[in-house]
Chains A and B, each alone.
Chain A
Amino acid sequence: MTDYTILKGMSDWTIKYNALANSIVTSNWTTNGLVFVNGFAAFSQEIANTIKYRTIDNKGTRTVQFAGAVKTPALSASASGLAMLKVPLSLFEGHKGFIQQYDRYTCFWGDQWCVVQVKPETGELCVTNMSMRDDKNVKASALQINYSISW
């Protein structure tokens, strides 16, 4: 547990105070550096709610949150690990290994399940078709993402 205690007469108390004051740093939501690929696109029907990301740092712990919608092309039943967009690799610098992937499971418009995943080594945000319908092909539509990844 981090010790932020300040004692009477401590000469370098500002170090303790600054460590506490900067222990949680949350960035703004942004689209900076997002590059859509494979026919996926910004959510042009409502661009204010197109996909964005932000980072939350708590000392050595980083969380990258994604929220917002993506326009999706028609996808085949076998679409698996297909990149939707690339995010800046700098988001993952210094963060490797064991992760929690929060709210991976979502639906295309039309209630067909899918799973999203980020690949920190390539910066790709990917989707896998998990439709349970008889016809597992997915028409062009949109996808609301509420996914986060945490080290």
Chain B
Amino acid sequence: MTDYTMTKGSNWWQQYNQFVKDQTLEISAWTDAGISFINGYTGNTSDMPNTLKYRTITFGGVLIATEFAGYVKHPALTSSQGVVEICKLPSAIMKSAFTKNLSVTGFISTGQYTILGLNTTDYALTINLWGLTKNLAAGGAFQVNATFEW
């Protein structure tokens, strides 16, 4: 474990700067850079300021979480589609490691729920449609509020 202790007469700013480098939390701006929709999904074309975006949280320069928010428009949906990729993402915003999934429930319409996830080998945001109890027509918008922590 790194020793950040300052002592009288030491070059104390060196310990300080190392502490800052190792233990500073940084939250990026929300962005849609590098999001590439597939499988019939699109951004929220009727309200682009609130289309799907992400931001990253790093601690000491190490990625510890990626947050998603905003809306996505879906194609026609049936539960038999199972787990489908919504969009491709930059590889740098995720880790292939044990993941804590937070706030990943997505309601598409009343009583129609899905679970969002990450595919960290294919670098994609996924939607699990097995929870649907009826078919849905194309064009509906649903909100994403998912966070993934490592």
Q: Could you say which residues of chain A place their CB within 8 Å of the CB of B110?
A: 130, 132
Q: Is the CB of A20 within 8 A of B24?
A: yes
Q: Could you say which residues of chain A place their CB within 8 Å of the CB of B103?
A: 102-104
Q: Is the CB of B147 within 8 A of A102?
A: yes
Q: Is the CB of A102 within 8 A of B25?
A: no
Contact with A along B50-93 (1 / 0, CB 8 A): 10010000000000000111100000000000000000000000
Interface size of B by Cβ–Cβ distance < 8 Å? 27
Q: Which residue of A lies closest to B53 (CB)?
A: A98
Bound-complex Cα distance A150 to B110 (A): 25
Q: Is the CB of A58 within 8 A of B25?
A: yes
Bound-complex Cα distance A68 to B88 (A): 37
Q: Is the CB of B20 within 8 A of A101?
A: no
A100 at the interface (CB under 8 A from B): yes
Task: Quote the shortest CB–CB distance from B116 to chain A (angstroms).
Answer: 12
B17 at the interface (CB under 8 A from A): yes
Bound-complex Cα distance A105 to B30 (A): 23
Bound-complex Cα distance A20 to B67 (A): 23
Contact with A along B79-119 (1 / 0, CB 8 A): 00000000000000000000000110101001101000000
Task: Quote the shortest CB–CB distance from B9 to chain A (angstroms).
Answer: 14
Task: Quote the shortest CB–CB distance from B65 to chain A (angstroms).
Answer: 12
Q: Could you say which residues of chain B place their CB within 8 Å of the CB of A2?
A: 24, 26
A25 at the interface (CB under 8 A from B): no
A44 at the interface (CB under 8 A from B): no
Q: Could you say which residues of chain B place their CB within 8 Å of the CB of A7?
A: 13
Bound-complex Cα distance A104 to B147 (A): 13
Q: Is the CB of A8 within 8 A of B49?
A: no
A5 at the interface (CB under 8 A from B): yes
Q: Could you say which residues of chain B place their CB within 8 Å of the CB of A115?
A: 107
Bound-complex Cα distance A1 to B21 (A): 11
B16 at the interface (CB under 8 A from A): yes
Q: Could you say which residues of chain A place their CB within 8 Å of the CB of B53?
A: 98
- Known interface pairs A104-B145, A130-B107; A58-B27 also in contact (CB < 8 Å): yes
Q: Is the CB of A5 within 8 A of B20?
A: yes
Q: Could you say which residues of chain A place their CB within 8 Å of the CB of B145?
A: 100-104
A109 at the interface (CB under 8 A from B): no
- Known interface pairs A103-B103, A130-B110, A130-B111; A98-B24 also in contact (CB < 8 Å): no
Bound-complex Cα distance A99 to B145 (A): 9
State which residues 15-62 of B face A: CB under 8 Å: 16-17, 20, 24-27, 30, 49-50, 53
B2 at the interface (CB under 8 A from A): no
Q: Which residue of A lies closest to B50 (CB)?
A: A98
A6 at the interface (CB under 8 A from B): yes
A sample of 8 cross-chain residue pairs with beta-carbon separation below 8 angstroms, ordered by A number, consists of A13-B13, A23-B25, A98-B49, A100-B147, A101-B143, A105-B113, A130-B111, A150-B69
